[in-house]
Each structure stands twice: as structure tokens, then as C-alpha cells.
Structure 1
């Protein structure tokens, strides 16, 4: 049974585990497989810095997460930057849609006007998910990521909430 729930400090190892698995199996996440080292206090620090952090929990193991971080300055407090990752085996099962439904509820409650994210232009499944959730492409971050020695562009995407 799968459930979507908030990730808190007691979930530090589970959260790190899902991030590490995503680093290993996906070339679409920020870190390469050997970059992430487990450091309990650092992981707790990461968790505590997010304004919103949820995971998809299957029998006590996270299989994906969505995080959002609001802008710190007053002029961008109404904007949140979003990161999402779902383990390959659990993709295309509606987890992403559930994540974004929870994100929308939180954003409305917190009076967030703008959600934003970046995605590699060759991550077709993620782009389709984001567009289905109301995100639009605003622009291109040219050669912003280097994956396997090749520079890749990213789309900058946003969703404006009413």
C-alpha cells in the first residue's frame, strides 16, 4: 500500500535513501551517483530548510519525494521552487499527480502565487507530467547541466496559481 505523507526529521535516512537511489538510476537529477554521502546532520539540515516536503511511502520505504522552498526575501515569498523525483519502478502510477495535488493545496494555504522548477529538455516524461499539472515552459537555461560530458539545456517552467 502506498501513501503520500509529510517527511519529517525522523525520516532522514529514508529521505536520503530515495535521493541516493534516484542519483544512481536517473541522469535527470542534480547529483551523480558518487556525489551524495550520508551525513545525518546534513540530511536533517536539508529537511528542515524545505517549506514543504512530502514522500510516497510504500511499506516504510520512500519511492519518491516532492519538495518546495519559498523565496526568503519579501518580494519573492509568494514563489516556491519545486523539486520532484520518483523511483523508476514507481513512475507512471499516479504518484506525481498526487504529489502535485498536495503541493497545490499547500501553496493555496500559504498564499503562494508562483511555483517554478527546471527540467532537462530531454526528460520527456517529467515535462509531460509538469504540463499536465498546469506548468508552462518560460524559457531555456542553455547548457546548464553537464551529463556524461555533454552539456544539456533545461527548461524553466512555472505555474501561476489563482
Structure 2
């Protein structure tokens, strides 16, 4: 597997990947097709991210096929310039192979290199595998959004707000 920055030429493949991942799990925020970004829109995002020190857009690839992505989005407001918000998506057939973990580790490393002090994310309370991974990589629970997400079963689910503060004394647990 290769983990690298997204490039404009793969915008169509990323658009398809994002749509497929949205349909494979309810752990993410979107229903399939909701907030769809077409290839031209993704090409613009990739171009803007590659020109900005505030954003990081990574992909995971195996055998010439994109299988996952992560994106860190920064903020231009002075009071929040020290942090980025992280989102990760991996094709279901590749869950359990370390794709998400490697995308996260690379994102954490690049965020630190780019001077970001804090990384935040939201995760469904019932997504125990993701919660364990985030905690293993140094994220702490910072809050709970009660009954924040309505799923297809008609039930509301809590979202966990997590954050990771980069400092030189904190190591990523590679176990």
C-alpha cells in the first residue's frame, strides 16, 4: 500500500470512492449521494489543498486502486489557526488491514510538520474500533454530542468529540 498526497488527476476516482464509502457504513455523516462532490469539484478541492498550508488531503492506494483517504481541514481565523479537523474514509473490504491507521499516522505527522498544535474529529459512540484506534493514536475524548445523529434504524446516536494535542513528549502507540 502507498500513502501519499492526492493529485488532481485522480479526482474522478476519488469522487467514486467517496460515494462508495458513504454507502458502505453509517459511521460517516452522509447518506449515499448526499453532499456529492463531482470530479470537477474534487479537482478544485485537491488543487486548493495542495496550494494551502492549512489543509492536508491524503489517499491510500494499492495495485493502482484508491482504497481510502483522509483530509485535514484548517481554519483561517486567527484564534483557530493552530488546529485542523480530520476526516477519514476507507473501503469496507480493506477494514482491518491498517489503512485507516496509516492514513491517521501520516496525517498526524504532516499536521505536526506543518505547525498544527491540535487535531480534532467526531466519531459515533458505537464505532468502537475507530474509538480504540483514535485513543491508541493519542486522541482524547473532549465531549459528547447527545442524540446527534439519526440513522436508518430510526434511532439517535451520540457523537464523541475527540482531540489530539501535538507535543514533543507524546508518542504514537504503534502496537
TM over 0.5: yes
Checking the alignment, whether the CA contact within 8 Å between 2:124 and 2:160 is kept in structure 1 is yes
Q: Could you tell me how far apart the structure 1 residues matched to 2:124 and 2:5 are? A: 27
Please show how residues 1-162 of structure 1 align to structure 2 within 5 Å. 2-35=1-34, 37=36, 39-50=38-49, 51-148=55-152, 149-162=154-167
Is contact 2:15–2:38 with CA below 8 Å preserved after alignment?
Answer: no
Looking at structure 1, the residues matched to 36 and 149 of structure 2 have their Cα atoms a distance apart, in angstroms, of 21
Pairwise CA RMSD: 1.5
How many residues of Structure 1 are paired with residues of Structure 2 in the alignment? 161
TM-score (norm 2): 0.85
Higher alpha-carbon deviation: 89-98 or 42-51: 42-51
Ranges in structure 1 where 5+ consecutive residues have no aligned partner: none
How many Å apart are 1:40 and its aligned residue? 2.5
List per-residue Cα deviations over 1:87-120 (Å, max 9, x = no partner).
1111111222211221122112111100000001
1:49 Cα deviation after fit: 4.8
Query: 1 or 2, which has the higher strand percentage?
Result: 1
Going from structure 1 to structure 2, the CA distance change for 1:139 and 1:17 (only over 3 Å counts) comes to same
* Alpha-carbon shift at residue 47 of structure 1 (Å): 2.9
Q: TM-score, normalised by structure 1?
A: 0.92
Tell which deviates more after alignment, 62-71 or 102-111: 102-111
SS in 1 for 2:87: strand
Unaligned runs of 5+ in 2: 50-54, 168-175
